[in-house]
Amino acid sequence: MAEKTYLQAISDGLRLQMRHDKRVFLIGEDIGVYGGAFKVTQGFQEEFGPWRVLDAPLSETAIVGGATGAAMMGLRPVAEMQFADFISCAWDHLVTIAAKQHWRAGTPVPITVRLPSGGGFSGGPFHSQNPESSFAHIPGLKCVCPATPEDAKGLIISAIEDPNPVLFFEHKHLYRRIKGEVPEERYSTPIGVARIHQPGDDVTIVTWGAMVYTAAEAAAKIDDLSVEIIDLRTIMPWDKDAVLASVRKTSKVIVLHEDTRTGGFGAEIAATIAEEAFEHLDAPPKRITAPDTPVPFAPALEEAFLPQVADIVAGLRELASY
């Protein structure tokens, strides 16, 4: 096994899956000659040729619409949004057509949409969002949010192989910051199965994406508290059983996400816990999220916006003393 960055792991998964399955092709803005805004597809056009690594016009509508049509005709397109934020332009194709086609007409739409998401580097309101809960709400779409390089590779392969439209949220803040051992071979990581990032007994933190690391940092700051961190890995479908099992053990839970609060996916998780594990709760489920505002530019404001280690430490202490 070699150590790879989160970004390299995604490239690796894409490359192996393209070699494995001739139906797989990539489409996106500047992904060919330029290798992508974040260089995920660098060298791909050389290896796979311009017809499998397509540079698209600056139109997310065209990219997702074209991918949807190709998928309906039997191909396995992987569409890249340069930033997850831009997917709003493709809402109609994704939500009205791709998500519903199978239910309307029985035609599978096996597209994968790669969505570089998340903030933390002063990207401002158009380049920092985590729009996963908007899409988790749409029946027919799957939402994947890996946190580790190993999962990023296994899940991009699962996403491409899945017969449904899958939104692959890859966190930009993890791209080059997070490294890990990644198996060389082609493998898939199941969609809908959570991972225990660290086991614990006193409080559960349910989270995904970059917040897994923020949570771990916070947990490490409190010596006398045993914190279990669940990395959901995919939020639609999400691993309800793993979350409920952990909550039944600890009886106290924080749901943590980088997305804004109201209607965020954490609300769904908290509600499910209240419904299905009520008799196991020893404190109210607690959400730690961004506030209900756009993502600010100014570094100080963005820091205030994103959940920080100190916020989580405070939340853990509050629950511990409840």
Site residues, another protein (CB under 8 A): 251, 278-283, 321-322
Beta strand ranges found along the chain (DSSP E): 2-5, 24-28, 53-55, 76-80, 112-117, 142-144, 166-171, 179-182, 195-198, 203-207, 227-231, 234-236, 253-260, 286-290
Comparing CB distances to another protein, the nearer of 201 and 217 is: 201
Q: Which is nearer to another protein, 102 or 280 (CB)?
A: 280
Which candidate in 20, 93, 102, 127 is catalytic?
Answer: 127
Task: Report the amino acid identity of residue 228.
Answer: E
Q: How far is the CB of 147 from another protein (least distance, A)?
A: 29
102 is annotated as an active-site residue = no
* CA dist., res. 217 & res. 205, Å (int): 12
> Apex CA 263: angle with CA 158 and CA 167, to 5°?
20
Rounded to a whole number of angstroms, the minimum distance from the CB of residue 321 to another protein is: 6
Q: H helices then E strands: how many in the chain? A: 12, 14
CB of 279 to another protein, least distance (A): 4
Comparing CB distances to another protein, the nearer of 39 and 317 is 317
Residue 139, class by beta-carbon neighbours within 10 Å (0-12 exposed, 13-18 middle, 19+ buried)?
exposed
Taking the least distance from each CB to another protein, the nearer of 23 and 317 is 317
Minimum CB distance to another protein, residue 71 (Å): 44
**Residues belonging to the active site:** 127
